[in-house]
């Protein structure tokens, strides 16, 4: 193990033991040839992050729904670590202080869901839901209900698993939870997550700073949500320039501990080309593993619809991602990338407080639509905030 690896970023041209570890992980996954000469004719100490590694990292990131940048930082490292586990290779249990995660956990969750046990979302993290579903399964098959997935459980699972693909039971359960919570905003808890903050300014263009804009937008949404009876929280304040912002896992953990119904992360994008423009919304999902948050996807669609109906931002669609914030939150969660600061027209829009008010209104209407039964829904772009407050 290379304990410091998770603290650093590794990219094309880097060398050293951490790079050797990265190469070994990629080779194990069959993404990199693993002959001795492939270490760059070198020892452990001088392993090279060469073009082959760069291509393998990008391929892996694409496969896993991560940002494709060829850089191995904390998130990509965690995904690489998760990918090496197959169900049966290690004992799994609920460890609250350090939740076990990996592809073997996804497999366990999908099998439990396929058999009708409520393991929550198949997100690859062994949490309380997974433990409870496992105990229930163990009781049902008559083995010791200790919530630990060891040899006896592996055997029982192999005997019983039908070839049902997970996903549908999760979608039904998420929809049912939304239906039960009723068609009103009052009493809902929504967590708003302004991206970056403090030392991390995010994307910048002229006077525009993503961290500042995101906080301003969050405050505008917060005010409107509060007026509709929603309890809204922000994951961070207006941090000072020297302050360290919370990381994504911490932000997700705060939303979890607040028992939030919905998490909305607010960002603005940037690109190498000034021509790139438009707005996109991301939610938790992983095509290769066949897992996705159905309600996260639904809210992402609603948000895109409202935003593009009320503004002239280009519709860049909704996309599945495995980013920590989306993956580690227990409620439907989205990350909005509202326009490109590198595009002059988008930047001019974002600089206008009136525009940010329109965006805030679109966000609140999308939240309301999420909780309205489909037959009571009115056409996109028509619902106005006062209607919602009154209803
Ligand atoms: Zn950002």
Q: How far is the CA of 323 from the centre of ligand 1 (A)?
A: 12
Instruction: For residues 163 and 131, give the distance between their C-alpha atoms in angstroms, rounded to a whole number.
Output: 22
In angstroms, what is the span from residue 251 Cα to ligand 1's centroid?
14
pLDDT of residue 369: 87
Task: Check residue 164 and give its pLDDT.
Answer: 36
* Distance (Å) from CA 215 to ligand 1 centroid: 11
Question: Rounded to the nearest whole angstrom, what is the distance from the C-alpha of residue 268 to the centroid of ligand 1?
Answer: 5
Closest alpha carbon to 229 in 201, 206, 261, 196: 261
Q: State how far the alpha carbon of 71 is from the alpha carbons of 57, 59, 243, 357, in Å.
A: 7, 12, 25, 36
Give 337 Cα–ligand 1 centroid separation in angstroms.
7
pLDDT of 139 reads: 86
Q: How far is the CA of 196 from the centre of ligand 1 (A)?
A: 6
Cα gap 53→365, rounded to integer Å: 45
Inter-residue contact 167 to 122 (CB < 8 Å):
yes
d(CA 164, CA 327): 23
Model confidence pTM above 0.75: no
From ligand 1's centre to the CA of 327, what distance in Å?
17
Are the C-beta atoms of residues 68 and 62 closer than 8 Å to each other? yes
What are the residue ranges of helices labelled H in 198-331?
A: 210-227, 248-257, 294-310, 324-328
Distance 113 CA to ligand 1 centre (A): 34
Nearest to 79 by CA among 381, 334, 286: 286
Distance 9 CA to ligand 1 centre (A): 18
Cα 216 to averaged position of ligand 1 atoms, centre (Å): 14
Neighbours of 354 (CB within 10 A): 8
Instruction: Quote the CA–CA distance of 146 and 132 in Å, as a whole number.
Output: 10
Which pLDDT score is estimated for 43? 62
Q: What is the pLDDT of residue 162?
A: 42
pLDDT confidence of residue 356: 95
**pLDDT score of 17:** 85
Q: Whole-angstrom Cα distance, residue 212 to residue 184? A: 31
CA of 350 to the centre of ligand 1 (A): 14
Using the structure block, give the residue that is written with the tokens 């040839």: 33
Q: Report helix, strand and coil shares of the chain as percent, to nearest 5.
A: 45, 15, 40
CA 197 – ligand 1 centroid, Å: 10
Q: Please tell me the distance between residue 194's alpha carbon and the centre of ligand 1 in angstroms.
A: 9
Ligand 1 centroid – CA 283 distance (Å): 15
Query: Which segments of the chain have a pLDDT < 50?
Result: 1-6, 36-41, 162-167, 382, 384-391
Q: Is 334 left (phi over 0), alpha (psi -120 to 50) or beta?
A: beta
Sheet strands (E) in the chain? 189-194, 204-205, 208-209, 231-234, 262-269, 279-286, 291-292, 315-321, 333-340
Q: From ligand 1's centre to the CA of 200, what distance in Å? A: 9
Torsion of CA 113, 80, 257, 111, to 10 degrees: 10
Give the integer Cα–Cα distance in Å for 170 and 176.
Answer: 10
Distance 59 CA to ligand 1 centre (A): 23
Q: 265 CA to middle of ligand 1, Å?
A: 9
Q: Report helix, strand or coil for 110.
A: helix
Q: How far is the CA of 201 from the centre of ligand 1 (A)?
A: 9
Do 318 and 180 form a contact (C-beta atoms < 8 A)?
Answer: no
CB-neighbour burial class of residue 289 (10 A; exposed 0-12, middle 13-18, buried 19+) = buried
Question: What per-residue confidence (pLDDT) applies to 374?
Answer: 58
């Amino acid at each position: 193990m290379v304990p410091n690896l998770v603290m650093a970023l590794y990219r094309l041209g880097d060398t050293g033991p951490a790079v050797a570890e990265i190469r070994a992980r990629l080779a194990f996954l069959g993404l990199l040839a693993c002959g001795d000469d492939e270490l760059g004719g070198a020892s452990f100490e001088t392993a090279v992050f060469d073009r082959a590694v760069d291509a393998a990292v990008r391929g892996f990131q694409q496969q896993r729904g991560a940002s494709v940048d060829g850089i191995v930082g904390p998130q990509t490292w965690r995904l690489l670590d998760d990918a090496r586990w197959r169900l049966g290779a290690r004992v799994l249990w609920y460890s609250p202080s350090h939740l076990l995660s990996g592809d073997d956990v996804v497999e366990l969750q999908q099998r439990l869901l396929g058999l009708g046990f409520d393991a929550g979302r198949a997100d690859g993290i062994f949490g309380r839901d997974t433990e409870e579903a496992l105990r229930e399964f163990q009781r049902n098959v008559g083995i010791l209900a200790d919530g630990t997935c060891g040899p006896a459980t592996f055997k029982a699972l192999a005997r019983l698993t039908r070839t049902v693909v997970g996903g549908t039971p999760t979608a039904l359960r998420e929809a049912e939870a939304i239906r039960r919570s009723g068609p009103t905003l009052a009493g809902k808890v929504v967590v708003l997550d302004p991206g970056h903050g403090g030392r991390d300014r995010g994307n910048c263009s002229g006077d525009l700073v993503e961290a500042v804009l995101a906080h301003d937008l969050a405050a505008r949404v917060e005010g409107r949500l509060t007026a509709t009876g929603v309890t809204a929280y922000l994951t961070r304040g207006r941090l000072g320039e020297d302050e360290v912002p919370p990381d994504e896992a911490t932000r997700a953990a705060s939303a979890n501990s607040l028992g939030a119904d919905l998490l909305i992360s607010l960002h603005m994008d940037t690109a190498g080309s000034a021509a790139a423009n438009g707005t996109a919304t991301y939610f938790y999902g992983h095509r290769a593993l066949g897992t996705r948050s159905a309600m996260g996807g639904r809210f992402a669609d609603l948000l895109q619809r409202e935003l593009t109906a009320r503004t002239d931002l280009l519709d860049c669609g909704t996309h599945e991602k495995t980013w920590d914030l989306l993956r580690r939150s227990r409620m439907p969660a989205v990350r909005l990338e509202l326009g490109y600061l590198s595009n002059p027209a988008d930047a001019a829009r974002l600089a206008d407080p009136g525009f940010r008010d329109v965006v805030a209104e679109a966000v609140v209407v999308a939240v309301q639509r999420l909780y309205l039964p489909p037959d009571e829904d009115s056409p996109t772009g028509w619902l106005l905030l006062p209607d919602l407050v009154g209803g």
